[in-house]
């Protein structure tokens, strides 16, 4: 929220400069105004101060989703295994069930939110309605039932199912809101920039939590932080849900697939047929298959980067260069994680000029050639440079898929003469294919590592020549 307050303050300064028009310092004031407008994506200041501005809703929703998801991904495994002491059998069962539920619930909510005549057609109403349930399920996750017992395993399963269900419902609605409310290419790129600023602000919660809870030694403090995070997220969701409906029809009466201009709700059989026909039309599009195929590979790479960056650094970079616990190591990880987002924020004009597709293809080309050079690398500094380049090309490309998918939604609506794009359905079908990569990638990477003796390294802390860089 601090970023948005600063943005509003800068915009207020711009209004003063514009209205006062000093005679002596006009040139200097104009330069300041121009720089502020470029930094803020050249968004009208009156629109930015208005809650109906889609950028405010998109960024607020992104911040709320991100701050909870960051805590969830970073802590839930450690909490349930090391503090709640879930039996390993129950943990494996929970992960298996969660993998399937995580894949199917997105298409389910996508169908429900694009179903003709449903109140779920309103993206903002979905966010407002499900936000309280999401934050409650988030807090519920961190309150133990019976440590070390099968009951705690049931707690884990129920927590994962409830949290992911409500998170997916709001996540699909947020993705659809992104596409529906940013029809102009420049506005769409600006929305991506503000989303990245929101993510950049949200990741600080990990450092705050680690400091205040002493790395989970103070469980009560950690639980208090989760309650505060839930309340902040709820407030941001209410801001996101206050945007005017993004669809052309009223939330309760509108129909995305209706063939008539009135607000009558189609018969159930026709409704199901229309949704099924629309799903087939989308899946048969070559462009859509190319998008989700590349997004699957990209997600697998991104998950591998996030989960195994510390392992790769430990194995490939000698301790003499990046000692454990050193500032140099922290800075290196900071460049890997924050560098791509900062790069995207600062290059909004380049994305507007070249387009998200060309930028994405450029990152693929850079990744390919840097990957080829890696096979001939032996110097640890060269490996560090490769890791930075590859991390930037991978993580900076992720937000571009929101723009590319949104563009596809617009093209699909024109191609099939739809009154509105099927945003929820398209984003959910994308998630159906992409989300399994989050589970498959770690399994594949661990299998490859173990083939080169990684498990022996974990047990003995002695690496083989095939596994690690040797000084």
208 and 102 in a common domain: yes
40 and 132 in a common domain: no
Domain containing 236: what range? 50-254
End of a domain among 46, 62, 82? 46
pLDDT tens readout for residues 35-53 = 545 544 444 444 444 556 7
SS3 261: coil
205 and 63 in a common domain: yes
pLDDT tens readout for residues 193-239 = 888 889 888 888 887 888 888 878 899 999 999 999 999 999 999 99
79 and 194 in a common domain: yes
Q: CA-CA distance, 40 to 347, in Å (whole number)? A: 12
Instruction: Give the model's pLDDT for residue 131.
Output: 95
Question: Would 141 be classed as within a structural domain?
Answer: yes
End of a domain among 210, 229, 254? 254
129 and 36 in a common domain: no
140 and 66 in a common domain: yes
153 and 41 in a common domain: no
Question: Would 69 be classed as within a structural domain?
Answer: yes
Lowest mean pLDDT among 86-90, 123-127, 397-401, 460-464: 460-464
Instruction: Give the model's pLDDT for residue 230.
Output: 96
| Domain CATH number, residue 202 | 1.20.1250.20
Question: Would 109 be classed as within a structural domain?
Answer: yes
How many structural domains is the chain composed of?
Answer: 2
Question: Would 339 be classed as within a structural domain?
Answer: no
Question: Would 466 be classed as within a structural domain?
Answer: no
Instruction: Give the model's pLDDT for residue 106.
Output: 78
Question: Would 302 be classed as within a structural domain?
Answer: no
91 and 13 in a common domain: no
End of a domain among 254, 277, 298? 254
> How sure is the predictor about 78, in pLDDT bands with cuts at 50, 70 and 90?
confident
Residues 6+ apart with CB under 8 A from 135: 68, 230, 231, 233, 234, 237
Question: Would 277 be classed as within a structural domain?
Answer: no
Q: Which of 51, 8, 4, 47 is nearest to 242 (CA)?
A: 51
225 and 112 in a common domain: yes
196 and 84 in a common domain: yes
226 and 101 in a common domain: yes
More confident residue, 289 or 32: 289
173 and 138 in a common domain: yes
pTM score, whole prediction? 0.67
Bin 148: left if φ > 0, else alpha if -120 < ψ < 50, else beta.
left
Question: Would 264 be classed as within a structural domain?
Answer: no
CB burial class (10 A; 0-12, 13-18, 19+) of residue 215?
exposed
Residues 6+ apart with CB under 8 A from 27: none
């Amino acid at each position: 929220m601090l970023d948005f307050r600063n943005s509003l303050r800068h915009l207020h300064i711009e209004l003063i400069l514009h209205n006062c028009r000093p005679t002596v310092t006009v040139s200097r004031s104009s330069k300041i105004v121009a720089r502020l407008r470029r930094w803020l994506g050249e968004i009208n200041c009156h629109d930015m101060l208005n809650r109906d501005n889609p950028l405010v809703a998109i960024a607020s929703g992104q911040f709320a989703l991100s701050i909870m998801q960051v805590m969830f991904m970073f802590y839930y495994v450690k909490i349930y295994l090391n503090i709640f002491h879930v039996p390993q059998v129950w943990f494996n069962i929970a992960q298996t069930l969660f993998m399937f539920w995580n894949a199917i619930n997105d298409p389910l909510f996508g169908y429900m939110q694009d179903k003709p005549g449903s109140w779920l057609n309103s993206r903002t109403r979905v966010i407002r309605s499900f936000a309280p349930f999401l934050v409650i399920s988030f807090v519920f996750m961190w309150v133990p039932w019976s440590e070390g017992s099968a009951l705690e395993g049931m707690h884990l399963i129920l927590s994962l199912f409830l949290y992911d269900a409500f998170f997916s419902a709001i996540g699909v609605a947020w993705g659809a809101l992104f596409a529906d409310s940013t029809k102009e290419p420049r506005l769409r790129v600006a929305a991506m920039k503000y989303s990245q600023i929101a993510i950049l602000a949200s990741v600080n919660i990990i450092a705050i939590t680690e400091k205040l809870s002493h790395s989970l030694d103070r469980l009560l403090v950690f639980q208090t932080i989760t309650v505060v995070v839930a309340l902040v997220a709820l407030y941001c969701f209410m801001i996101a849900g206050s945007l005017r409906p993004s669809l052309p029809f009223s939330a309760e009466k509108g129909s995305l697939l209706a063939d008539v201009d009135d607000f009558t709700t189609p018969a159930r059989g026709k409704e199901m047929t229309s949704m099924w026909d629309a799903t087939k039309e989308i899946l048969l599009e070559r462009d859509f298959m190319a998008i989700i195929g590349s997004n699957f590979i990209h997600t697998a790479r991104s998950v591998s980067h996030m989960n195994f960056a510390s392992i790769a650094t430990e194995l490939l970079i000698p301790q003499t260069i990046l000692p454990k616990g050193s500032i140099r190591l922290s800075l290196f990880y900071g460049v890997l994680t924050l560098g791509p987002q900062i790069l995207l924020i600062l290059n909004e004009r380049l994305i507007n000029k070249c387009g998200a597709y060309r930028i994405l293809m450029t990152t693929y080309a850079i990744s390919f050639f840097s990957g080829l050079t890696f096979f001939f690398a032996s110097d640890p500094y060269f490996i560090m440079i490769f890791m930075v380049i590859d991390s930037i090309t991978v993580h900076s490309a992720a937000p571009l898929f929101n723009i590319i998918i949104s563009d596809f939604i617009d093209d699909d609506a024109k191609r099939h003469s739809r009154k509105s794009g099927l945003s929820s359905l398209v984003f959910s079908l994308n998630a159906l294919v992409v989300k399994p990569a989050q589970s498959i990638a770690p399994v594949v990477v661990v299998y490859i590592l173990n083939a080169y003796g990684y498990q022996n390294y974990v047990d003995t802390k002695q690496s083989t020549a095939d596994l690690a860089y040797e000084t």
